[in-house]
Amino acid sequence: MAFNVWTFLFEVLNFLVLAFILQRFLYRPLHEAIDARRAAITKAQADVEAARKQAEEQQAQLTSRLAAVDEQRRQVLAEAHTQAEAERTRLLASLDQESRTRRDEAREVLERERRDSEEELHGAMVALALDLAARLLGEVCTPDLQRQLARRLIDALSHLTGDDQARVGGTHASADTSATVETAMALDDVTLAEITAAIAALLGSPTPVAVKVRPELLGGLRVLLEGHVWDGSLAGRLEEARHAQTAVPA
């Protein structure tokens, strides 16, 4: 039998058309129906599982509620049982606290009186020591020591910062400005000239200086310039020590 190409090609074409028709109108709807059925089965299983879990959760909630009711009943009984004991304990504690409070108050009173006595004794000792130091300094202050103390004050005035110099000079530099120098003993000419020059340099112009001898300063100088005070005296140092001691607890 001879091979007919056209016949073969026609049969192949028929096969392809048949395969297309089967794929288009039979296999695809069949697969879609199978997939839909499978999805429905899966959804039904999920619904069943969800219903089962919901039932288990409801059962667990019911069990929890029953346990809570039992626990609440037990707590009510326990609270009723302990109220009487708590009231008795409270009364005993109140009596004990009142007793301790009275003891503490008495102890605080005694402690306060002790501190007051110590502070008074400390203040008396400080005052006595400072008075003794003042008498000794008044006796040992010599002209040489006086010049040394004056030199320290002169150096302090000479080494003021620029801001301090500007503030003092700007406030007090006028024709009516005058300075007062208080000294424990009479100043020699050299020391008086140096302190006068230091004040003039501070103000920026020569300034009249009034000198007052005040033995109670014990030693050294004190410069007063219309509100400003530079204290280089031994009495000033003792006063600073007095304030420092009284400010520190005994």
- Each residue's pLDDT tens digit in the chain (250 positions)? 566 777 877 787 888 777 777 776 776 666 777 778 888 888 888 888 888 888 888 888 888 888 888 888 888 888 877 887 888 888 778 878 887 888 888 788 778 877 776 666 555 555 555 555 555 555 556 788 888 888 888 888 888 766 666 666 555 455 566 788 999 888 888 888 888 888 888 877 788 888 899 988 888 889 888 678 888 888 888 888 777 776 555 4
**What's phi and psi for 3, nearest 5 deg?**
-80, 125
Asked whether residue 134 is assigned to any structural domain, the reply reads: no
What domain range is 163 assigned to? 141-247
Strands 209-213 and 221-225: unpaired
DSSP 192: H
Name the domain count of the chain.
Answer: 2
Asked whether residue 150 is assigned to any structural domain, the reply reads: yes
Buried b (16+ CB within 10 A) or exposed e, 142-169: eeebbbebbeebbeebeebeeeebeebb
CB atoms within 10 A of CB 202: 23
Buried b (16+ CB within 10 A) or exposed e, 213-234: eeeebbbbbbbbbeeeebbbbb
Asked whether residue 112 is assigned to any structural domain, the reply reads: no
Asked whether residue 117 is assigned to any structural domain, the reply reads: no
Residues 79 and 150 in one domain: no
**Beta strand segments in the chain, E:** 179-183, 209-213, 221-225, 228-231
- Residue 17 backbone zone (phi > 0: left; psi -120 to 50: alpha; other: beta): alpha
Residues 95 and 150 in one domain: no
Residues 96 and 162 in one domain: no
Burial of 246 (0-12, 13-18, 19+ CB in 10 A): middle
DSSP 184: S
